[in-house]
Chain A
Amino acid sequence: MSSLPPFWLLVEQHGDELMRYARRLTGEDAEDVLQEALLRALRSYPKLRNGNHLRAWLFRVTTTVAWDHSARRRRRPEVLTDNLPVKTIDPHHGDDEFGSLIGQLPPGARTALTLRYVEDLTYESMGTRLGCSPEAARQRVSTAVRSLRRRLV
């Protein structure tokens, strides 16, 4: 016997905030990322041991899929063509200055900075969303800030 609510009720309840979150992490690829995240969550849903913290769990799954997605994009080889060069637009962060600053960081660092400085989450809330302790969340932010500093110098 499961104490989990019907999956689609979760989608209806949290889908819009998950989409906003996916958009912050992956820009125009947010729909694809959230689609994969929801399907991944649905696949493993019955295996959850209880119905507590389902919102945080959905955010964690979305974070993981966004990281995987960003990692795949970074691995994708550059295609050389004879076309005239066109202006490059950062697909992840549009015109947002902070977004373009962190756009070149690894996905984990980018997520840590987004959660801390864009979403303004506490380390405790970050920990819940990322599935780690508040101290680990603090370390991730601190590492990401160091990494960003190195790139700016």
Chain B
Amino acid sequence: MKLEPRFLEKVANRAVKEGIADIVYSEFDTPLGRLLVAQSDKGVCLIVYPGENQHALLGRLSASLSPRIVLARDALAKTQSVINSYLEGRTSSLDIPVDLSLVTSEFGRRVLEKVSLVARGRVTSYGLLAQECGHPGAARAAGTALGRNPVPIVVPCHRVLPSTGIVGGYGGGSWRKQFLLELEGALPKS
């Protein structure tokens, strides 16, 4: 016998209301598949694509931020609506605060901050990004930092392409990168 969703929802809502849930998360369907999204009081701190190890990633959140992690669908309703509006092409801005607490290296943080400045519809290369972070020649390290981006889509690591011009690799799979770049007009619709 599993606990009833209605009961779990009641517990979660009270935890949020009483301010004892430090991180709330939820899963919802999007054009990119079912995403797990977690947020702290500072902003979205984790987005997990299907197929990634959700438990391990939530475990990292527990270790780095707080173990008071609660599944609370209602608390994520606004974030869910903003992400889906963007991915369905109904809005062109993804205005969601971000919490990069999971990023521990200074270089990694700088890379993600710089890539956040790449506008919708534009792309850059790993080499250029590394150069802008003050480390010309560290293209590979920039790629590694982007690969560890805990908040894909919102921090637009998909806007970085290899210098060869192909779409290149992506944590969620290259079709998702292609989808995002086409949605934003950086690539022609296939």
* A residues in contact (CB < 8 Å) with B: 1-9, 11, 15-16, 19-20, 31, 34-35, 38-39, 42-43, 45-46
Asked whether B70 is an interface residue with its Cβ less than 8 Å from the other chain, the reply is yes
Interface string of B1-42 (1 = CB under 8 A from A): 111000110110011001011010100000000000000000
Most buried by A among B1, B21, B61, B69: B69
* Given the contacts A16-B2, A16-B3, A39-B18, A4 and B8 also touching, CB distance less than 8 Å: no
Q: Which residues of A contact B189 (CB under 8 A)?
A: none
Is the pair B7, A2 in contact by a Cβ cutoff of 8 Å?
Answer: no
Q: Which residues of B contact A31 (CB under 8 A)?
A: 7
Q: How large is the interface on B (under 10, 10 to 19, 20 to 34, 35 or more residues)?
A: 20 to 34
Which residue of A has the minimal Cβ distance to B66? Answer: A46
Known contacts A1-B64, A3-B63; can you find 7 more A-B pairs with CB under 8 A?
A4-B67, A5-B62, A7-B70, A15-B3, A35-B11, A45-B68, A46-B68
Is the pair B69, A39 in contact by a Cβ cutoff of 8 Å?
Answer: no
Interface string of B51-73 (1 = CB under 8 A from A): 00001001101111011111100
A55 CB → nearest B CB, Å = 15
Is the pair A39, B14 in contact by a Cβ cutoff of 8 Å?
Answer: yes
A62 CB → nearest B CB, Å = 13
* B residues in contact (CB < 8 Å) with A: 1-3, 7-8, 10-11, 14-15, 18, 20-21, 23, 25, 55, 58-59, 61-64, 66-71
Is the pair A38, B11 in contact by a Cβ cutoff of 8 Å?
Answer: yes
Contact of B55 among A2, A9, A11, A43 (CB under 8 A): A9
Complex CA gap A38/B84 in Å reads: 32
Contact of A43 among B11, B20, B63, B69 (CB under 8 A): B20
Is the pair B7, A35 in contact by a Cβ cutoff of 8 Å?
Answer: yes
Is the pair B8, A11 in contact by a Cβ cutoff of 8 Å?
Answer: yes
Complex CA gap A38/B9 in Å reads: 12
21 A-B interface contacts by CB (under 8 A): A1-B64, A2-B66, A3-B63, A5-B59, A5-B67, A6-B23, A6-B59, A6-B61, A8-B25, A9-B58, A11-B8, A11-B11, A15-B3, A16-B1, A16-B3, A20-B1, A38-B11, A39-B18, A42-B70, A46-B66, A46-B68
Most buried by A among B1, B11, B15, B70: B11
Is the pair A4, B62 in contact by a Cβ cutoff of 8 Å?
Answer: yes
A99 CB → nearest B CB, Å = 19
Complex CA gap A31/B55 in Å reads: 27
Is the pair B67, A45 in contact by a Cβ cutoff of 8 Å?
Answer: yes
A-B CB proximity, top 9 nearest: A6-B69, A4-B67, A15-B3, A6-B58, A6-B62, A8-B71, A2-B67, A38-B11, A43-B20
